[in-house]
Amino acid sequence: MEKIKVKVDWCDKNFGAVTEDDVLCGVVIATSKSYDGLMQELSDAVCEHVEGLLQDGETVPEWLVNGDYEFDVELGVAALLRKCEQFTSLAAIARVSGINQQQLSHYASGLRVPRIEQRKRIVDGLHRIGKEFMEVV
């Protein structure tokens, strides 16, 4: 199955996605209040975009026409924290990552953008939380 690269971030109380794949002959953008809603909106937008490409006579790979693809999603830190807030709290993430909860709140709201090292600490912390959940019997 082919993959379409997508960047997802959080802005103005919405998730936003933009494709980053040349095979689409352009950019596809979608927004939604929820992550699941965003992925549905993005899927619909890509389908409409492909239909438009075909109507314009563009050459489109068969896998794209058939919908034989999945999204390779890269979450920005704000989107990552917002997506995970349904499973855990910023306080829990702060404890396992060692990053101040107020700082995480700034990242989650998009007021500040963390350095690469900070993003890694957040992701590692989420992995630790996930591992703890997986060990529950």
Which CATH class for the 77-134 domain?
Answer: mainly alpha
Mean pLDDT of the chain: 95
pLDDT tens digits, 101-120: 999 999 999 999 999 999 99
Q: Across residues 85-93, what is the average pLDDT?
A: 94
The dotted CATH code for 2-75 is 3.30.160.620
- pTM for the full model? 0.87
In this predicted structure, the answer to whether residue 26 has a pLDDT above a threshold of 90 is no
Domain-wise residue ranges, the chain: 2-75, 77-134
Non-local CB neighbours of 71 within 8 Å, separated by 6+ positions: 3, 4, 6, 39, 42, 43
pLDDT tens digits, 37-63: 999 999 999 999 999 999 999 999 999
